Amino acid sequence: MIVGSISEDRKLENRVAITPDIVKKYKSLGLKVYLSENYALHLGITDQIYKEEGATLFKSDEEVIKNSDMFIQMNLPNNENIGKIDKGKILIGVLSPHLNQHILKDLISRDVKCFSLELLPRITRAQSMDILSSQANLAGYKAVVDAFAFFQKAIPMMMTAAGTISAAKVLVVGAGVAGLQAIATAKRMGAIVYATDVRLASKEQVESLGGKFLTVEGAENLETEGGYAKEASEDFKKKQEGLLKETLKKTDIVICTALIPGKTAPIIIKKDMIDVMQSGSVIYDLAASQGGNSELTKVNEVVDSNGVKIMGEANILNKLPTSASSLYAKNIFNFVNNLFNNEKKSFEINLEDEIIKKTMLE
C-alpha cells in the first residue's frame, strides 16, 4: 500500500503533511511513501533527506496521485489535482467541508473516501491525532510573540533607579487550546493576564496558568458535549460586551482566539469597544481567516483605529512551518495507523470506530 503527498500551494501554505522522521514510521507499517520533488525544500529539507529515510520522489504531482492508495495533505488540493484522484482512493487532510461542500460532494460521488481531521471527536483515544490542538497551541504562542513585538512598550514590570515601568495588561478572548497557550506565554514574559470564555469550565484552567478569569454575572455554561464553545444568547452577549468594554479601557494587548467549528467567528470586540482603548494598544485576531473576533479585523492587514493596531493573518502557522509540520505529520500518522489493518496489510474503514465515523465525509 502506498501513501502519497504533493507540495501545497506555497502562496497559501508552508506546512507539509509528511516529515522525514514520519517516513520511517510509515515504512515500519510496511507502507511505501511517494512525494513530489522539492516537497519540503522551503523548510530546508532536501529530497535527499527524504530518500535516505526511504521515500520515493516523483517529478510530477500527477505521478504521485496516480500511484498512491492514500493521499495525505494539509489542505484540499487544487481543482486540477482533485480531478486526478481515482475511485476507491483515500484523501486525508484539513478539508474544511463547510467551505468546500461542492468539491467534496463531487469527490465522494466518485467513491473517494474523504477524511477531514478537524472533525475529530474530543475523546481520549483521539488526542494523539488532534490536529486542532497541536496547531492551535503553536498559534497561541506565536500570536503573543508577534503582538509583543508590535507593542512599543516593555512587557514585564521593571523597577529601575529612573523609575518603575508597569507590566503590560493582556486580555485573551477565548480560553481554548490557543487561548491557554497565549495566557501561559504572556505570563512567562511578565504580563498581567486576563481571560474570558463562554465555557465556565475554562475558569479553573485559566487560573491555574496565573490568569484572572472575567466572569459575566449570571453566566450560563456554553459548552457542547464535544468540548467546544457554542453560540451565546443575546442576553449573554450584552452582558459580555459591558464587561469587556470596561476591561478594554485599561488593556494594552488583546489576543482573540474564539472560534465555533464550521461557522463564522463571533464578533466579540466591537468598534465602540476599540474606541475606548488607549492609543498604542494592539489586538491580534487569530480568528481572522473565519471573519475575525474584532469588528475591524482585515485578513493580512494591520488596521489602525485611532492608534489601536488590529492584526489578523490568514495563516499564522506559516511563520512556524517547521514546528507545525512536525506536529501535524505525527497527528496524521496516528490517524493513518488507526485506519491500517496490520494483519491484512490494508486500509480498513470501520464505521463502528467513532474516530473514523466522525471524520469521514458523506
Is 130 an annotated catalytic residue? yes
Residue 171 CB: number of other CB atoms within 10 A?
A: 26
Residues in CB range of 244: below 8 A, 6 or more apart: 171, 173, 196, 214, 268, 269, 273
* Dist CA 85 CA 89 (whole Å): 7
Query: CB of 362 within 8 A of CB of 356?
Result: no
User: Cα dihedral angle (347, 350, 356, 362), rounded to 10 degrees?
Assistant: 100
Q: Which of 47, 110, 122, 305 is flagged as catalytic?
A: 122
Q: Which of 7, 73, 116, 130 is flagged as catalytic?
A: 130
Is 228 an annotated catalytic residue? yes
Query: CB of 40 within 8 A of CB of 58?
Result: no
Is 194 an annotated catalytic residue? no
**Cell reading at 113:** 473516501
Q: Which of 69, 106, 188, 228 is flagged as catalytic?
A: 228
Q: Which of 116, 133, 294, 325 is flagged as catalytic?
A: 133
Is 15 an annotated catalytic residue? no
Cα–Cα distances (Å) from 303 to 253, 283, 298, in that order, read 14, 10, 7
Pairing of strands 158-160, 163-165: antiparallel
Q: Which of 28, 60, 101, 127 is flagged as catalytic?
A: 127
Residue 356 CB: number of other CB atoms within 10 A?
A: 17
Terminal CA-CA length for the chain? 24
Q: Which of 181, 175, 169 shows the shortest CA–CA distance to 250?
A: 169
What is the enclosing helix (H) or strand (E) of 172? strand 169-173
Is 34 an annotated catalytic residue? no
**Cell reading at 143:** 500570536
* Dist CA 226 CA 172 (whole Å): 22
Q: Which residues are catalytic?
A: 122, 127, 130, 133, 228
